[in-house]
């Protein structure tokens, strides 16, 4: 269990201010969705939170300790999962961490029984236990992303960060992946921050929302405060129509935006 706090974080790339004085704290076990259009600073925020990038100003802290490089207790899931097509779902999950040593150990199957057990458990969490021996390249994009989630879980993180984990998936697979992410986070009590650009997915799965616009935090609040006005504040004049993707399973509660 861990909390993570973003304290006055500014990140500049030359003249571009990607994040401007952003502050918020995510308590133990909370599930947060970061929303914003392309270029609003979502990836930069998550990369700072993971220690992949250092803020120009301000600080990230996990349980009070500054984060200045990637750490094993913070797992990251990307849009482009580095899944290896020739390897089985199980072997991919077993690679757990991205370090070269771990990778070689997995190729030569030098993991302990405990690690193997964890990989199977993680595949079970994402509903792929039955497919564990299937080669990743024979799986759908959504299944591959679930393997990516399993691989992150094998790392036994306290904090899970996901940068647009469903951006390249169709609406049906996106919902399924979000469902598994939320379930994994709840089952394991993970502190979770996921960036998304689709408002409907955010509304369906989120508890707390952080809105970024041009690198500034323009909203931080819970479901009941996440109104159309707030969506306007985050998306401004941008036409959000395309972001309310058609829902594939037709649940009534997915028709979230009414005038």
Please name every residue paired with 35 in a beta bridge, in sequence order, or none if there are none. 196, 211
CB of 257 to ligand ADP, least distance (A): 21
Stretch that binds ligand ADP, among 31-39, 85-93, 110-118, 246-254 (CB under 6 A): 31-39
CB of 162 to ligand ADP, least distance (A): 12
Stretch that binds ligand ADP, among 11-19, 59-67, 141-149, 150-158 (CB under 6 A): 11-19
Closest Cα partner for 214 from 38, 69, 77, 3?
38
With CB under 5 to 8 Å by kind, the binding choice for 40 among Mg ion, ligand ADP, none is ligand ADP
Cβ burial of 45 (10 Å; 0-12, 13-18, 19+) is buried
Stretch that binds ligand ADP, among 10-18, 85-93, 181-189, 198-206 (CB under 6 A): 10-18
Distances (CA, A) of 177 to 18, 116, 194: 28, 23, 12
With CB under 5 to 8 Å by kind, the binding choice for 105 among ligand ADP, Mg ion, none is none
Strands 208-213 and 16-26: unpaired
Closest Cα partner for 175 from 145, 204, 140?
204
> Can you give the three-state secondary structure of 98-142, one letter per residue?
CCHHHHHHHHCCCCCHHHHHHHHHHHHHCCCHHHCCCEHHHCCHH
| Binding of residue 42 to ligand ADP (CB under 6 A) | yes
Q: CA 250 to CA 259: how far, in whole Å?
A: 19
Among 2, 5, 32, 44, binds ligand ADP (CB under 6 A): 44
78/244 with CB nearer ligand ADP: 78
Collapse the DSSP code of 253 into the 3-class scheme (helix H, G, I; strand E, B; otherwise coil) and give the result. Answer: helix
35/89 with CB nearer ligand ADP: 35
| Binding of residue 43 to Mg ion (CB under 5 A) | yes
| Binding of residue 36 to ligand ADP (CB under 6 A) | yes
With CB under 5 to 8 Å by kind, the binding choice for 234 among Mg ion, ligand ADP, none is none
Helix axes 141-154, 171-188, angle to 10 degrees: 20
To which residue do tokens 């390897």 refer?
87
Stretch that binds Mg ion, among 42-50, 100-108, 116-124, 247-255 (CB under 5 A): 42-50
With CB under 5 to 8 Å by kind, the binding choice for 55 among ligand ADP, Mg ion, none is none
Where does this chain bind Mg ion (CB under 5 A)?
42-43
């Amino acid at each position: 269990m861990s909390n993570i706090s973003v304290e006055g974080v500014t990140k500049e790339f030359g003249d571009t201010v990607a994040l401007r004085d952003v502050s918020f704290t995510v308590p133990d076990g909370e599930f947060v969705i970061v929303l914003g259009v392309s270029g609003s600073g979502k990836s930069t925020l998550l990369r700072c939170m993971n220690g992949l990038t250092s803020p120009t100003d301000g600080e990230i802290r996990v349980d009070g300790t500054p984060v200045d490089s990637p750490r094993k207790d913070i797992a990251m899931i990307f849009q482009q999962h580095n899944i290896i097509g020739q390897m089985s779902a199980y072997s991919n999950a077993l690679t757990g961490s991205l370090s070269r040593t771990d990778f070689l150990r997995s190729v030569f199957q030098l993991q302990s029984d405990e690690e193997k057990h964890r990989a199977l458990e993680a595949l079970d969490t994402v509903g792929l236990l039955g497919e564990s021996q299937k080669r990743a390249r024979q799986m759908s994009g959504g299944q591959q992303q679930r393997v990516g989630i399993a691989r992150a879980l094998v790392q036994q993180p306290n904090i899970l960060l996901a940068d647009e984990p469903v951006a390249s998936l169709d609406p049906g697979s996106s919902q399924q992946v979000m469902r598994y992410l939320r379930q994994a986070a709840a089952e394991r009590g993970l502190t979770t921050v996921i960036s998304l650009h689709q408002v409907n997915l955010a509304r369906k799965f989120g508890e707390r929302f952080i809105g970024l616009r041009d690198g500034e935090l323009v909203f931080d609040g819970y479901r009941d405060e996440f109104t159309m006005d707030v969506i306007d504040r985050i998306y401004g004049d941008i036409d959000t129509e395309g972001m309310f993707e058609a829902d594939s399973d037709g649940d009534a509660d997915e028709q979230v935006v009414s005038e």
